[in-house]
Amino acid sequence: MTRRATLRGAERTSLEGESADVLVCGASFAGLAVARELAGSGADVLLVDRYEVGERPTSACAAPRQWLEAMGVAGSIRQEIPCMCFHTPHGSVRYRLPWSWAAFDYRELCRQLFDQTDARFEIATVFGRRAGGVVTDRGMLRAPLVVDALGWRRVLARERNQPPEAPLSRGLEVHPGGGGRDLDVWIERSLVRKGYGWSVPAGGEQRVGVGSYEPRDHVRRPTVELAERLSREPVRYQGNWFPHRLRRAAQDDVFFVGDSAGHCFPLSGEGIRTAFYFGIACGRELRSVLSGERATDEALRRYARFSASHRRAFGLALRLQWLVPRLPPRVLTLALRALARQALVDRAFGWYLDQAHPAFAVSAHAATAAFSAGATDPATSSIVGRSMGTRAPSRKSPTPRSA
């Protein structure tokens, strides 16, 4: 494994002619999940990113705790967050979730994911695809299997994916010292017209930010305003675009995973667990090609079908993303209050987790073995039901409780 700080200038020696069995472009949540799923396959996997692994976080780094455990990265957790508190101009409503969020350390999480791969890593900026390979600033790289896990830009796609035309939201946050107990969400038009603000406590740090579903609306002023309202200093900025619509997950001979395929839930803007989820799905298809079980074309088709099979949930979230900013604030407050009954919270957030459930992370091999051995544990049998194209009915999936 090659490990080094991000290379600059003359250090960026040529990689021209370098080849691998699988080339994974992008070494954040999605790319690392794909590479992790290929561990032990015997394939030569080359991971590339413009930065060192874990060097540039762009998110508030909150994900369901059960997903972090399932991915073997619980050691990166800084704080568990069992409750969410929603604020509108007319009041606040607190929900105790049927599962917990966890705020984690990005660098540590990436390191722990990378340690589970047996991939090679090189720092290179990817420019695009040309017959015969992937063009980077360090030369052309070749591989029969190519994954674009490069985030919202979808660098290896045929079409341009630039805001404001592309279906993208934008987010910015600051990371002052601070704390808190809950994951707070503000839905206030005076703060951001179409979007929301958040505060994620992360063990001595507070990640305060604002996201706008409307890419033309700027988020710096509201981010500063929210930080000041919370008596926090607006320091250590980070921001990015994130998608709010599913895109084609396979195009030409490239697999698209994570933000590059629009695998980020509209409304919530949650894209880490989905990057893991679809990264694992992609990795399993790649494995089937590497083992000779399937042709590449078939794997691409199956993966694209699997991604598209989530259209209903993503479509519903997109409709809510359209509706929520248009609801009169008093109606929204009443709706949030009406949802506060524990049975409804359990049901709504249980459904939400089911759309990319952590049980999916248990290896297909382990699940199949458990199933063959007559396992009755729904946590394993549901994974078999959730294999490509046959998603188990969501209500049957387990919803681990921690709160």
Interface residues toward ligand FAD, by CB under 6 A = 26-31, 49-51, 56, 58-63, 125-126, 149-151, 153, 155, 171-173, 209, 239-240, 242, 258-259, 264, 269-272, 275
Which pair of structure tokens corresponds to residue 176?
A: 């002052």
Q: Which is nearer to ligand FAD, 284 or 370 (CB)?
A: 284
Q: How far is the CB of 283 from ligand FAD (least distance, A)?
A: 13
Q: How far is the CB of 305 from ligand FAD (least distance, A)?
A: 20
Backbone torsions φ then ψ of 12, nearest 5 degrees: -85, 75
Tell the residue number behind the tokens 């290379």, with chain if given.
7
Ranges of beta strands (E only) in 105-157 are 120-123, 126-130, 133-136, 139-141, 145-148
Distance of CA 241 to the CA centre of its chain: 13
Q: Enumerate the H helices of 236-328 as residue ranges.
A: 272-290, 296-308, 311-323
Which pair of structure tokens corresponds to residue 209?
A: 């930010």
Q: How far is the CB of 345 from ligand FAD (least distance, A)?
A: 19
Q: How far is the CB of 388 from ligand FAD (least distance, A)?
A: 20
Q: Which is nearer to ligand FAD, 211 or 350 (CB)?
A: 211
Report CA-CA distances (Å) from 209 to 57, 64, 135, 168, 267. 14, 19, 35, 17, 15
Q: Which is nearer to ligand FAD, 209 or 222 (CB)?
A: 209
Q: Which is nearer to ligand FAD, 311 or 395 (CB)?
A: 311
Report CA-CA distances (Å) from 42 to 22, 118, 143, 220, 366. 11, 9, 15, 47, 18
Q: Which is nearer to ligand FAD, 273 or 381 (CB)?
A: 273
Report which residue's Cβ sits closest to ligand FAD.
271
Q: Which is nearer to ligand FAD, 282 or 359 (CB)?
A: 282
Q: How far is the CB of 148 from ligand FAD (least distance, A)?
A: 9
Q: Do residues 257 and 148 lie in contact, with contact meaning Cβ atoms separated by under 8 Å?
A: yes
Q: How far is the CB of 154 from ligand FAD (least distance, A)?
A: 10
- 310 SS3 class: coil
